[in-house]
Amino acid sequence: MAAVLAALLWPRFWLVIEEGEALRYAFPATSGSDFALRWTHSVEKEDWEERFQIQTNGSLMLVETRFKTFGAGVPAAVGRETRLEQGWVVMSGIHRPVDPLHVQAAEAEHYRLYFQGRTLDLTHPGVPPILTFTTREAPLLTMLPARFGTWWRQWRSP
pLDDT at residue 94, as a whole number: 95
Q: In the prediction, which pLDDT does 158 show?
A: 46
Cα separation, 151 vs 102, whole angstroms:
23
SS3 label, residue 107: helix
- The secondary structure element, H or E, covering residue 25 is strand 22-28
Write phi, then psi, for 135 (nearest 5 degrees): -120, 160
Tell me the Ramachandran region of residue 155: left when phi exceeds 0, alpha when psi lies from -120 to 50, beta otherwise: alpha
Maximum pairwise Cα distance, the chain: 58
Half-sphere exposure of 19 (CA within 13 A, CB side): 12
The pLDDT, as a whole number, for residue 29 is: 93
Number of H helices, E strands in the chain: 2, 11
How far is 132 from 130, CA to CA, in rounded Å?
7
pLDDT of 50 reads 97
**Whole-angstrom Cα distance, residue 66 to residue 96?**
15
Q: What angle do CA 26, 30, 32 make, to 5 degrees?
A: 120
* R_g of the chain computed on alpha carbons: 17
The sign of the dihedral angle between the CA atoms of 154, 151, 115, 109 is positive
Q: Is the pTM of this model over 0.95?
A: no
| Per-run averaged pLDDT (10 residues), the chain, 158 residues | 64 89 89 95 87 96 91 74 92 94 93 93 89 92 70 48
